[in-house]
Structure 1
Amino acid sequence: MNATTADAAPSDPGRIVLLTTSHRVAPGLLSWPAWQALRTADRVLCADGTHPQLPYLREAGIRVDEAAPTAEELVGACAGGRTAVVVATGEGEPALTDGLARLAGSGRVHMPELELLPASYDLPGARLLDLVQVMDRIRLECPWSSQRTHEGLAKYAIEEAYELVEAIEDGDRDELREELGDVLLQVVFHARIAEEDPEAPFSVDDVAGTIVDKLIHRHPHVFGDETADTPEDVREHWLRTKAAEKQRTSVTEGVPLGQPGLALAAKLASRVRQAGLDVPLPTGEGIGYDLLALAVRAESEGTDPEAALRAAARAYRDAIRGVEG
């Protein structure tokens, strides 16, 4: 096949459709315009004989030629008003598209109509599938990652959470995006390790399913028939449904003792206040009891004592740097 020059070109140079698909969408799930283009094309080509879409196209009665024509050959094949659909490989056919661009820019070739047609495309969250696949390969092939355990990774989850808080307090958007990714990695890593548990395995899909069910159940004003007009109404819904789920015998249940001291004191005070309990603070000597009283007072006034102390400590750090010059 040879490209047709402008002098000898027929009146209709035809049409070239570059059909792209997403590897994150199941093969065969194509848009209606894509199926129309495939069914009405004079020729359908694909350079990759193992392309995952090919079995489904052939099952639908569409003939696909395994071929990788040059730009000149493809333009010639469309002469006379014919349509050629190219099912793009994962790389997106850069050699072909570059060749077509050169021909179009030369001005010597009567070019067919060129169309880029996404046959399937990513929905929001699609890159999470990439993360799961990458993590799976790392777990299998990386000498370090393949040996990690929940216990061994626990400290990294804490470190990444602190780094995320720092990025938030610094107001650094680029750093925030990166640290959110690092926290997300901890979730995916632990979920991948959990798949290998011989007695009670679960996957990242189970983790996601659990939180989806929880969010739906605790938002009856969004997914159910209840109403909530204010943030206070939402909080009441949340606490009521959470209490019904947990069936706790003490307000202290579910409060992690491993969190920082001020945060722990504030959380306990919050639980006491919400339950309407009258619990006198323990008395004793030392700075610990003074800090406990300050944390409880801060919580009652709507202040996060941990965040307040961090802000003050950061100011102290800046003052130190100022003295250091």
Structure 2
Amino acid sequence: MTVILVDPRRPALVPVDAVELLTGDVQYTEEMPVMVPWSLPSARPVYSGADAPVLLSSDRQHPQVRARLAAGERLIAAPASQPGERLVDAVAIMDKLRTAGPWESEQTHDSLRRYLLEETYELFDAVRGGNLNELRDELGDVLLQVLFHARIAEEATQHAFTIDDVADALVRKLGNRVPAVLAGESISLQDQLAQWEERKAAEKMRNGGRFSCVDDVPTSQPALALAQKVIARVLSAGVPAQLIPASIVTVTVAADKDAENELRTEVLEFMDTVRAVERAIAANRRDADVSNQLDGAAPLGVVSADEWRRHWPVVVDEPLDDPLAPELVSGDDDLLDEVDAVFIDSDDEEFGVPELAVEDVDLAEPDQPSSVEPQ
């Protein structure tokens, strides 16, 4: 006497050890899909007549399954569930909700944006709080957003994709970014990080390249996070810290100030400046016979600190206490020496910046800070 348990998600997949047994007298439990018993020559429902030598089921908790196993009958079962199999159930539920749910069927990528942001913040709070039960629940809420957006994308008239396409893209990305780790090789943390960045850059090149070091930085993130991301990007691209303006390094919060929008505006303007300087550097690097080449035709590659300084259009506006900040020009006897340290490319017509002469400098009173601005 034998009990054969199949996977309820794939009831037609039978363990190889059970194939021969299914050719004889078989009973099946009522949850089995009708096509499965129809495919068996001698199958009959459970409770019909005497017990058959073989009971086929997908429900380990079925009374007949439990009774026969308790009596010592042989068990042939499908392999144990693998991690992630419940994700299949989640995908199926999302599909049903999208198809039959009055609210779910009306949602779009745009209408779900606020929920995605809200769930992300709640997940952040759960991580910070350290409660694993809350963390599990909030991860589920974020997963729902992923499944929801992927299900909506299936209906797109152009460039449609499925949740499997999302998973495939992730698997291929990780396979390309960390091949040594996935191959079981020993690798140091530094080498892994370097490999990740190198292969990430290669991916960008294959996808058309990223001309600017601040391209693909998500600008809709909170202003402070945006500022931190942009600062990290430009520093890694070789921009001297002295060129980062004080207005995005130091944030003032006050009741009468909209600090969020003010900081965002400053960061976006700084990003525009970086892109303009990159275009100027690209133009300066061109040979005479390719003068008509488009500015963004190819990534810049390595840019030296000197190149950044020579093409930078303005001087940082205020002194910074932060280690990133330079000493700025003040109205004292060293003023002209300080001006000599400002690098402005007078040949760059894109910015329209004239040469900085002594008469361009507004000499303030000694107790008043002065600034250097191109006229």
Secondary structure in structure 2 of the residue aligned to 1:211: helix
Distance 1:163 1:296 in 2: 34
Give the aligned CA root-mean-square deviation in angstroms.
Answer: 3.2
Over residues 274-303 of structure 1, what are the superposed CA-to-partner deviations in whole Å (9 max), with x where a residue is unaligned? 222215122459726999979996xxxxxx
Query: Following TM superposition, by how much is the alpha carbon of 1:205 offset from its aligned partner in structure 2, in angstroms?
Result: 0.8
**Residue number in structure 2 paired with 1:164:** 123
Query: Following TM superposition, by how much is the alpha carbon of 1:50 offset from its aligned partner in structure 2, in angstroms?
Result: 4.0
Query: Following TM superposition, by how much is the alpha carbon of 1:201 offset from its aligned partner in structure 2, in angstroms?
Result: 1.1
Larger Rg: 2
- Which of 223, 227, 235 matches 1:265? 227
Contact 1:218 1:242 in 2 (8 A): yes
Query: Following TM superposition, by how much is the alpha carbon of 1:45 offset from its aligned partner in structure 2, in angstroms?
Result: 1.4
Over residues 101-134 of structure 1, what are the superposed CA-to-partner deviations in whole Å (9 max), with x where a residue is unaligned? 9xx7xxxxxx6x3233313542221111101110
- Which of 17, 21, 42 matches 2:6? 21
Instruction: Show structure 2 runs of 5+ residues with no match.
Output: 253-258, 268-319, 325-375
Contact 2:5 2:59 in 1 (8 A): no
Tell me: CA distance 1:270–1:47, structure 2 relative to 1, closer, same or farther (3 Å). same
How much identity, in percent, do the aligned residues show? 34
- Which of 54, 61, 75 matches 1:85? 54
Secondary structure in structure 2 of the residue aligned to 1:264: helix
- The answer to whether 1:217 aligns with 2:180 is no
Over residues 45-103 of structure 1, what are the superposed CA-to-partner deviations in whole Å (9 max), with x where a residue is unaligned? 124474443355x3xxxx33212227x942xx6xxxxxx11011x544633246659xx
Secondary structure in structure 2 of the residue aligned to 1:66: strand
Tell me: CA distance 1:294–1:92, structure 2 relative to 1, closer, same or farther (3 Å). farther
Secondary structure in structure 1 of the residue aligned to 2:54: strand
Query: Following TM superposition, by how much is the alpha carbon of 1:222 offset from its aligned partner in structure 2, in angstroms?
Result: 2.8
AA partner of residue 46 (structure 1): Y
Query: Following TM superposition, by how much is the alpha carbon of 1:230 offset from its aligned partner in structure 2, in angstroms?
Result: 1.8
Contact 1:24 1:122 in 2 (8 A): no
Tell me: CA distance 1:98–1:33, structure 2 relative to 1, closer, same or farther (3 Å). closer
Instruction: Show structure 1 runs of 5+ residues with no match.
Output: 1-14, 78-83, 105-110, 298-325
**Residue number in structure 1 paired with 2:42:** 64
Contact 1:46 1:64 in 2 (8 A): no
**Residue number in structure 2 paired with 1:278:** 240
Distance 1:263 1:296 in 2: 19
Contact 1:25 1:120 in 2 (8 A): no
1:115-126 correspondence to structure 2 within 5 Å: 115-126=74-85
**Aligned residue pairs, count:** 254
Tell me: CA distance 1:218–1:96, structure 2 relative to 1, closer, same or farther (3 Å). same
- Which of 25, 28, 52 matches 1:46? 28
Contact 2:151 2:163 in 1 (8 A): yes
1:1-325 correspondence to structure 2 within 5 Å: 15=1, 17-25=2-10, 27=12, 29-35=13-19, 37-38=21-22, 43-48=25-30, 50-54=33-37, 58=40, 63-69=41-47, 73-74=50-51, 84-88=53-57, 90-92=58-60, 94-97=62-65, 113-223=72-182, 229-246=187-204, 247-279=209-241, 280-283=243-246, 287=252
Distance 2:127 2:246 in 1: 36
Which structure ranks higher in relative contact order (CA pairs < 8 Å, sequence separation ≥ 6)? 1
Report which stretch shifted further, 248-257 or 261-270. 261-270
Contact 1:24 1:126 in 2 (8 A): no
Tell me: CA distance 1:19–1:98, structure 2 relative to 1, closer, same or farther (3 Å). closer
The TM-score with structure 2 as length reference comes to: 0.60
Contact 2:27 2:43 in 1 (8 A): yes
The TM-score with structure 1 as length reference comes to: 0.68
Higher helix share: 1
AA partner of residue 18 (structure 2): A
